[in-house]
Amino acid sequence: MRNGTYRRVTALTLGATLLAALPPAASAQAADSTAIQVTAEAARTVDAETTDDFAVLADAVLTRRTSALLDGSQATLRAGAALPLKGDVHVTSELAHAEDAATHVLHDRRARLAALDEAYTAAETEVDVDEVRVTGDRATVQVTETTMLTYKEIEGGEPPTTGFQARHELTFVAAPDGTWELTGFTPLDGDGPAAVNAVADTVGDSGSTSTGVADEPIDEGGEPETDGPAPQENQASIIQPTVQVQAKVSATASYDYTAMAKYAEKYWKNYNSNYRKFSDVGGDCTNFISQALRAGGWKNDTGWYKSYKNWWYNSSNQTTSWVNVNYWASFALHSDRAYNLDNVYKLGIGDILQMDFNGNRSKDHSMITTYKSGGVPYLTYHSTNTYRKSVKSLVAQYPRATYYAFRT
């Protein structure tokens, strides 16, 4: 039971005891006073200024986390900045200790990235408040974080920036003096790789942050079996080759890979309103790569929507292969629109990378390559919305995942 609740319950209990000892008139007056107090607490609201304060504190927490990933002494000092323990809106001491532990996790992640020759020199974070709900002395605040990081030039040719959007839920408790304490900070995204500054998965940094990450819309049977056994994919190595990979040899000469990349980078956080979104029904990742592939020349393959042998989208429906990770892979191989690569570093512009977080051969997430330099592919995807995340970063964050690479 949190302190604010404890104090309120104790006060009400004490009030009831005192009422019994007072004369009738005084007892009635005291009862009215207690009722007014309870009503006031139940009707507590949050004004625009306090909402802004909530956003500022969320920004401070997230900026501190991201700073732990940055290269340089100034970034280290910024990451070590103390979170406010007092003020109109502040954190509890317990949460401050948890964030200190999170900083150590992120320092370890920074070291793993550095060993792979990847680093970030700067970051900018914006926090938008999406919703505030107040019940009694508690406020639940949902926010969207948009963070852009600047790549450090190590090998040359790195893209200027990488970015992501992540949603979080904050829990505040009102103290008797009217101040608000931040007691909880929970990630809301669970449909794909966690953001690079996420700390929910602190044990080995190796698995998905959600047990439901593999759930996709219209997946009625897991692995595709309609119309016979589906083609089997081959796992890709995550070991970076010592010799730079040769230029991409296309699956077909008719595709426009630049158009695929431009589409994905245009809509990585601002969704195309011409398509339905599946963010709340299993994840939008495969829907997103299907849109990008269509922008680059993939044509509809008509037929039964549940068959992995077909791939299409229209104003009222779409095939399972359009939105489901496993069905997409089966269609791509069956139709010869793609073939497997044996190493993730062989991915080229317009190629697809899929991940199996749990090693159960049921893939969980789809991404498209939109940039490549120095032999390193950079991926853009939905769920969590992400722009130009390097394969190195994925491998550092999920070293025990299984990866499947597709040449389109």
3-class SS of residue 68 = coil
Strand pairing category for 89-91 and 180-187: parallel
Domains of the chain plus CATH, in order, are 48-187 (3.10.450), 257-407 (3.90.1720.10)
40 or 267, higher pLDDT: 267
pLDDT digits (tens, 9 = 90+) for 205-221: 444 333 223 333 333 33
Q: Which residues contact 381 (CB under 8 A, 6 or more apart)?
A: 192, 264, 268, 285, 288, 289, 365, 366, 367, 368, 389
| pLDDT-above-70 percentage for the chain | 79
Among 106-110, 125-129, 134-138, 250-254, the least confident range = 250-254
Query: Rounded to whole angstroms, how far apart are CA atoms 275 and 195?
Result: 25
**What is the overall mean pLDDT for the chain?**
84
Average pLDDT of 28-33?
44
The verdict on pTM exceeding 0.75 is yes
3-class SS of residue 201 = coil
Q: What is the DSSP annotation of 214-248?
A: T--TT-SSSS--TTSPPPPP--BB-SPPSSPPPPP
Among 43-57, 120-134, 173-187, the least confident range = 43-57
- The answer to whether 102 touches 200, Cβ cutoff 8 Å, is no
- The answer to whether 295 touches 257, Cβ cutoff 8 Å, is no
Average pLDDT of 158-169?
97
Q: Residue 3 pLDDT > 50, yes or no?
A: no
Looking at residue 317, its pLDDT comes to: 97
Task: Name the β-bridge partners of 149.
Answer: 123, 162
Other Cβ atoms closer than 10 A to 153: 11
Q: Residue 310 pLDDT > 90, yes or no?
A: yes
Helix (DSSP H) and strand (DSSP E) numbers for the chain: 10, 11
The helix (run of H) or strand (run of E) holding residue 267 is none
Cα angle vertex 313, ends 301, 341, to 5°? 60
Query: Rounded to whole angstroms, how far apart are CA atoms 406 and 236?
Result: 9
Pick the closest to residue 326 from 252, 402, 250 (CA basis).
402
Looking at residue 279, its pLDDT comes to: 87
In whole angstroms, how far apart are CA 103 and each of 73, 99, 254? Answer: 15, 6, 48
The helix (run of H) or strand (run of E) holding residue 306 is none
pLDDT digits (tens, 9 = 90+) for 240-294: 988 777 777 766 668 999 999 999 999 999 999 999 999 888 899 999 999 999 9
